[in-house]
């Protein structure tokens, strides 16, 4: 990996979520987006928290 961290844009985050929903692993997604696996996992984790809080608000 390079020395500088690559920040994901909003479009890349959406792409990350769509790839995960299609069944791709975080390792495959990371290689496609040229970022680290932990960064992909962080995006997925934040998305899960967002959905949970939205579901609570609707109840």
- 10-20 average pLDDT score: 90
Q: Backbone phi, then psi, for 36, in 5-degree steps?
A: -80, 155
Tell whether the model's pLDDT for residue 56 goes beyond 90: no
Q: Which pTM does this prediction carry?
A: 0.74
CA 59 – CA 57 distance, rounded (Å): 6
Q: Backbone phi, then psi, for 34, in 5-degree steps?
A: 60, 45
pLDDT score at 59: 66
55/15: higher pLDDT: 15
Give the tens place of pLDDT for each residue, 19-51: 999 999 999 999 999 999 999 999 999 988 777
Please answer whether residues 28 and 16 qualify as being in contact, where contact means their C-beta atoms are separated by less than 8 angstroms.
no
| HEC profile of 3-26 | CCCCCCCHHHHHHHHHHHHCCCCH
pLDDT score at 2: 58
């Amino acid at each position: 990996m390079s020395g500088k961290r690559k920040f994901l844009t909003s479009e890349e985050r959406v792409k990350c979520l769509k790839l995960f929903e299609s069944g791709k692993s975080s390792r495959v997604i990371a290689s496609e987006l040229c970022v680290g696996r932990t960064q992909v996992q962080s995006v997925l984790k934040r998305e899960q928290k967002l959905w949970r809080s939205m579901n609570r608000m609707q109840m």
